[in-house]
Amino acid sequence: MAGYNLEAIEAAPFKDDLDIVIPTIRSLDFLEQWRPFLKPYHLIIVQDGDPSIKIRIPDGYDYELYNRNDINRILGPRASCISFKDGGCRCFGFMVSKKKYIYTIDDDCFVAKDPSGKEINVIAQHIKNLETPSTPYYFNTLYDPFRDGTDFVRGYPFSLREGVPTAISHGLWLNIPDYDAPTQLVKPRERNTSLCRYVDAVMTIPKGVLYPMCGMNLAFNRELIGPAMYFSLMGEGQPISRYDDMWAGWATKVVCDHLGFGVKTGLPYLWHSKASNPFVNLKKEHSGIHWQEEMIPFFKYLRFSKESDTAAKCYMELSKMTKETLGKVDPYFVKLADAMVAWIEAWEELNPSVVDDKKKCNEKDVKAK
Ligand SMILES: O=c1ccn([C@@H]2O[C@H](COP(=O)(O)OP(=O)(O)O[C@H]3O[C@@H](CO)[C@H](O)[C@H]3O)[C@@H](O)[C@H]2O)c(=O)[nH]1
Ligand SMILES: [Mn+2]
């Protein structure tokens, strides 16, 4: 793999460039097992539910902890855009981070082993995925050409071999797969534990193709796509749940396609341990199962204007399109569209440097002319 020193990426944990965001309603004992891999990093823990409950965080980790009182204090009226009693609250951690990369993981996920029995360093693999280009415009039949021991195949145009910057790295799961409730109900004992289901591949999701992004083993470049990584309004008071990450996945994919960024899926795997209750999940996600037949064509056919040249501008335009088109499906989408605006306004208030720098550059350009 020309030009990329995998050993350097493996060794350099990028600890000053990456925050780990964990949504939780439980204690964080799962971090004990992750210590060899996650301890060097700064954690942003978003405690959901009752803020008066004290959660236990294992010693030795460097972290900041936010509960609902903190979210309300920091965001004021805009706090209503952050889900309550739903794992989607994690996106608050994306907003308050100041780092280039985010890795987000659920608290029922553990270290998995690859077919050789070696423990998988999810951070090292995600960083490799994010630090090497994506190839969304032409499919490479040997999958990720930037991995050690592989390359572009014959017939791959040299004009496309530079690839594009990678914005998102979507990891997978052994043991409990991310199934929806109906599938869980008909296949209650299905486990992804046989090594033949360990697919040793990383691939770019082609431009124009959507995918079901799961939030439990996910990394992304905050500077490229952060403002669009809004885990939509779910949980208490909302008619839909367990679609927070799906919405974020569809939205970030269309924004990446528009801005020329890439999305990869595949390695790394982790071990998902907790099968949530399929009957509870059915109640939570039934609207999503119905509405996704409308949401997916909406994302598939939408087009951004050329003026939308940043993730934040795309997201503001997406909010308008959501209200106009999906608002006819259900009033929930009108509320969601407003929440999307509040999210961007809050993001820009907490992250002024990027927005202001862009404005200053533009003003300088104008003066120079
Ligand atoms: O009200 C809540 C519920 C959960 N959390 C935290 O969010 C994650 C995920 O919770 P859990 O593992 O119980 O949920 P799953 O049924 O496995 O589904 C989630 O995992 C993915 C799909 O499998 C997707 O991320 C979710 O749909 C944990 O860290 C909980 O502590 C919460 O903050 N608030
Ligand atoms: Mn889970």
Average pLDDT, the chain: 92
Distance CA 102, CA 93 (A): 9
- Does residue 357 have a pLDDT over 90? no
More confident: 193 or 67: 67
Percentage of the chain modeled with pLDDT above 70: 91
Which of 244, 238, 241, 229 lies closest to 315, judged by CA? 229
Atom of ligand 1 nearest to the CA of 23: 33
Which of 285, 284, 100, 133 lies closest to 203, judged by CA? 133
More confident: 40 or 367: 40
Task: Judge contact between 90 and 215, C-beta under 8 A.
Answer: yes
242 pocket-lining for ligand 1 (C-beta < 6 Å): yes
| pLDDT value at residue 328 | 97
pLDDT-derived band at 190 (thresholds 50, 70, 90) equals confident
Dihedral sign for Cα 230, 296, 298, 253, please.
positive
- Tokens representing 268 are 């790394």
For the segment 118-133, the average pLDDT, to the nearest whole number, is 96
| pLDDT value at residue 54 | 94
| pLDDT value at residue 3 | 47
Please report the ipTM that was assigned to this predicted complex: 0.96
For the segment 182-186, the average pLDDT, to the nearest whole number, is 91
| pLDDT value at residue 27 | 84
pLDDT-derived band at 8 (thresholds 50, 70, 90) equals very low
**Cα-Cα end-to-end distance for the chain:** 42
**pLDDT tens profile 327-355:** 999 999 999 999 999 999 999 999 986 55
Which range has highest mean pLDDT (92-96, 184-188, 349-353)?
92-96
25 pocket-lining for ligand 1 (C-beta < 6 Å): yes
Atom of ligand 1 nearest to the CA of 276: 16
Atom of ligand 1 nearest to the CA of 85: 1
DSSP symbols for 75-123: HGGGGGGS-BSSGGGGHHHHHH--SSEEEEE-TTEE--B-TTSPBP-HH
For the segment 94-116, the average pLDDT, to the nearest whole number, is 97
**62-66, 108-112, 183-187, 317-321: range with lowest mean pLDDT:** 183-187
State the Rg of the chain over Cα: 20
Percentage of the chain modeled with pLDDT above 90: 85
Distance CA 207, CA 59 (A): 44
| pLDDT value at residue 6 | 46
| pLDDT value at residue 152 | 98
Among 216, 236, 272, 281, which residue has the most ligand 1 atoms within 8 Å of its CB, making it the best to mutate?
216
- Does residue 91 have a pLDDT over 90? yes
* 209 DSSP 8-state letter: -
Q: Closest-lying ligand to the alpha carbon of 88?
A: 1
**119-123, 190-194, 361-365: range with lowest mean pLDDT:** 361-365
| pLDDT value at residue 127 | 96
Residue having the nearest C-alpha atom to atom 16 of ligand 1: 276
Q: Full-prediction pTM beyond 0.80?
A: yes
Atom of ligand 1 nearest to the CA of 244: 27
69 pocket-lining for ligand 1 (C-beta < 6 Å): no
| pLDDT value at residue 366 | 54
Q: Which amino acid is at 274?
A: K
